[in-house]
């Protein structure tokens, strides 16, 4: 028999028992749908996290001070005051460095009229906007002149501005930070959160103003560095490490009193973990496909028993064993392929809905769809061979006598 004849025969047999065929395909539908949905969710989550990390800054290196060691006990990471503004200035002179933005931060009560909020007060330089990849929504950003004159001017994050009820028409308004008046000169575009930390809930003021009113000494909480070329991040990191070790008089083989976080390393770690989780979730979902395959094998065995007399008649009029084998194998493949196609639609729909709710959008992978189709066909072959062989081995005389 030709392939078209086998397909026509398989479809007609399945159409004759629509409910049984639909219930048999259900396991494959759920299995394929679960695999595609979970892989899509994993890809979407990875893309969302990657976008958040890339939004932290352009070709970013983050330098943090080391830990305090007191009375035999280490403090938290970054608890020491080993980084200074002079360190930031020295890093800015290195080759391959596009911009440097040191940062000092504290918490403070911000009041505007009858509205108030407690948020992070960040002292920084004009380079912060470029290094951390922020955009101005309204107004202007901090300037070198404002920093040199220690002006009491402030740029608000989008969340902070919203909490204070401030908008475009409020530029130039006076707010107070811990009782000290500041003029609002700008509002930042929203960037969202990274983990549990909001990038929009902060007030930025000049570094010199921060030292005058809220912080003493020359230490900084962190130094953010933007590298000119993404391919030179590792080289820049090594150069910065050597420069800081020389400035801090750290001997060869000694323990650095600072740490440098590489954005590319963070992205690599996130992608690696997300990839493993996606494989794990897809593997768990594949169990449903195995269950669906067992359902196909079970219904095909029942079909062989029900059609024993038909098989005997076909063999008596000249059908060969391979014809019978092909007939039942094509039926199993048709069941699994139809279930796989429905499962693909279900999985893509579920992935789209979850992506919209979670905010990372729809993640579509053609490779995953092709693998799902291949897997569903493999299920039909693996679990359809035994029933097909059972049918092909029937003795025609015995089959014709079967009641």
Structure confidence by residue, pLDDT tens digits, 221-257: 999 999 888 788 889 999 999 999 999 988 888 888 8
Residues 6 or more apart whose CB falls under 8 angstroms from that of 210 comprise: 104, 121, 122, 123
Mean pLDDT within 54-60? 65
Residue 92 pLDDT > 80, yes or no?
Answer: yes
What pLDDT is recorded for position 399? 53
Q: Which of 159-163, 185-189, 215-219, 267-271 has the lowest mean pLDDT?
A: 267-271
* 6: confidence class by pLDDT, cuts 50, 70, 90: low
Give the pLDDT confidence score for residue 140 in this predicted structure.
Answer: 94
Which residues sit opposite 259 in a β-bridge? 64
Cα angle vertex 104, ends 100, 108, to 5°? Answer: 145
Do the beta carbons of residue 220 and residue 103 sit within 8 Å? yes
What share of the chain in percent tops pLDDT 90? 30
DSSP assignment of 279-323 equals HHHHHHHHHHHHHHHHHHHHHHHHHHHHTHHHHHHHHHTT--HHH
DSSP tag of 84: B
Candidate from 119-133, 163-177, 386-400 with smallest mean pLDDT: 386-400
Strand partners, 226: 60, 99
What are the φ and ψ backbone dihedral angles of 119, each rounded to 5 degrees?
-145, 180
Predicted pLDDT at 69:
47
CB 173 within 8 A of CB 161: no
What pairing do the DSSP bridges indicate for beta strands 97-112 and 115-124? antiparallel
Lowest mean pLDDT among 27-36, 71-80, 263-272, 307-316: 71-80
Distance CA 393, CA 398 (A): 11
Model confidence over 303-358: pLDDT tens digits? 777 666 766 666 676 767 777 777 777 777 888 888 888 888 888 888 888 888 87
pLDDT band at 77 (very low <50, low <70, confident <90, very high): very low
Q: Which residues contact 313 (CB under 8 A, 6 or more apart)?
A: 399, 400
The mean of the pLDDT values for the chain is 80
Within 8 A by CB and 6+ apart from 278, the residues are: 38, 39, 42, 43, 46
CA distance 28 to 341: 9
pLDDT at residue 76 in the model: 47
Helical axes 3-16 vs 18-55, angle rounded to 10°: 100
> DSSP readout, 184-226?
EEEEEPP--EETTEESSSEEEEEHHHHHHHT--SSB-SEEEEE
What gap in Å lies between CA 391 and CA 308, rounded to an integer?
Answer: 8
Kindly tell me if the per-residue pLDDT of 74 is higher than 70. Answer: no
CA distances (Å), origin 329, targets 242, 298, 313, 373, 392? 68, 13, 19, 17, 10
Angle at 373 between CA 327 and CA 304, to 5 degrees: 25
Strands 174-177 and 97-112: antiparallel
402 vs 209, more confident: 209
Strand partners, 341: none
Taking the CA atoms of the chain, what radius of gyration do you get in angstroms? Answer: 33
**Does 79 have pLDDT greater than 50?**
no
């Amino acid at each position: 028999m030709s392939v078209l004849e086998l397909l026509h025969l398989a479809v007609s047999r399945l159409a004759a028992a629509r409910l049984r065929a639909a219930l048999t395909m259900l396991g494959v539908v759920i299995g394929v749908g679960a695999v595609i949905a979970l892989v899509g969710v994993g890809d979407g989550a990875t893309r969302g996290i990657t976008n958040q990390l890339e939004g932290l800054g352009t070709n970013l290196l983050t330098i943090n001070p080391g830990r305090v060691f007191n009375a035999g006990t280490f403090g938290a990471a970054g608890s020491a005051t080993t980084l200074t503004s002079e360190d930031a200035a020295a890093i800015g002179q290195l080759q391959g460095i596009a911009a440097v933005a040191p940062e000092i931060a504290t918490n403070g009560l911000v009041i505007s009229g009858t509205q108030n909020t407690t948020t992070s007060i960040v002292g920084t330089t004009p380079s912060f906007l470029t290094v951390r990849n922020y955009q101005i929504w309204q107004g202007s950003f901090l300037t070198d002149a404002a920093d040199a004159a220690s002006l009491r001017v402030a740029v608000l994050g989008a969340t902070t501005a919203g909490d204070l009820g401030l908008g475009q028409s409020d530029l130039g308004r006076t707010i107070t930070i811990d009782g000290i008046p500041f003029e609002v000169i700008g509002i930042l575009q929203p960037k969202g959160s990274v983990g549990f930390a909001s990038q929009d809930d902060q007030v930025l003021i000049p570094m010199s103003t921060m030292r005058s009113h809220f912080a003493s000494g020359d230490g900084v909480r962190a130094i953010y560095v933007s590298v000119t070329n993404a391919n030179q991040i590792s080289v820049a990191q090594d150069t910065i490490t050597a420069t800081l070790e020389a400035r801090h008089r750290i001997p060869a083989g000694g323990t650095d009193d600072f740490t440098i976080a590489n954005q590319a390393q963070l992205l690599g770690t996130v992608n690696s973990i997300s990839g493993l989780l996606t494989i794990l979730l897809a593997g768990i979902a594949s169990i449903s496909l195995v269950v669906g395959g067992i359902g196909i094998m079970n219904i095909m065995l029942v079909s062989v028993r029900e059609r024993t007399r038909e098989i005997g008649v076909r063999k008596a009029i000249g059908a060969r064993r391979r014809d019978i084998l092909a007939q039942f194998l094509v039926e199993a493949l048709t069941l699994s392929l139809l279930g796989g196609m429905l499962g693909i639609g279900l999985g893509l729909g579920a992935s789209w809905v979850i992506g919209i709710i979670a905010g990372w959008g729809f993640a579509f992978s053609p490779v995953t769809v092709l693998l799902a189709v291949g897997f569903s066909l493999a299920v039909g072959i693996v679990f359809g061979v035994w029933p097909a062989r059972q049918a092909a081995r029937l003795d025609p005389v015995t089959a014709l006598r079967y009641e």
